[in-house]
Structure 1
Amino acid sequence: MSTTTATVTLADLTRMLRESAGEEEGIDLDGDVIDTPFMELGYDSLALLQVIGQIQREYGIEIPDDAVVDAETPGALLALINAGQTSAA
């Protein structure tokens, strides 16, 4: 399997959040949500694990479930995801 070098963007992440868990009424994922906690956006840890699974399938990136718990905002999760691409062996 070849290593994927595509960076996961905020647009990619919000698309997957919508596909996996929908979009909370009154929340605009197209707005400036990079530093908004997932709980404020209406997403719990189960929704995030679903998104992580989708990212792992689409991008071939391995992300430990326990690391996801510490990523409380879209920006933190994107940093974790994109760092995982370079450290995956």
Structure 2
Amino acid sequence: MTYSLIQLAPGAYDLLLEGEIMGSVVRTGTGNKNTFWTAELLEDRPQGKWPAPFREIEHSFPNLDALCEWLGNPPVKSNFGRSNA
């Protein structure tokens, strides 16, 4: 399975699996000591329907690098700062 992240704003990403939005990745907290990153599936699916490596609806990590490693080091694209207006 191939994941990718699309940055929407600082600390906020769409989580895509095979090109379809499956969830989100967000930063919570301020400063280095109380900041963590969470990968969350959008839908509350039955446990047997969660894509790997998810074992829960949410997984938290101490930094974005650890989260990305857990997802298999997906490509990260940025839409931050772009506008259709």
| Interval of TM-score (by shorter of Structure 1 and Structure 2) | 0.3 to 0.5
Higher helix share: 1
When Rg is computed on C-alpha atoms for both structures, the one with the higher figure is 2
Question: Could you say which structure has the greater relative contact order, defined with CA pairs below 8 angstroms and 6 or more residues apart?
Answer: 1
TM-score (norm 2): 0.33
Structure richer in strand, relative to its length: 2
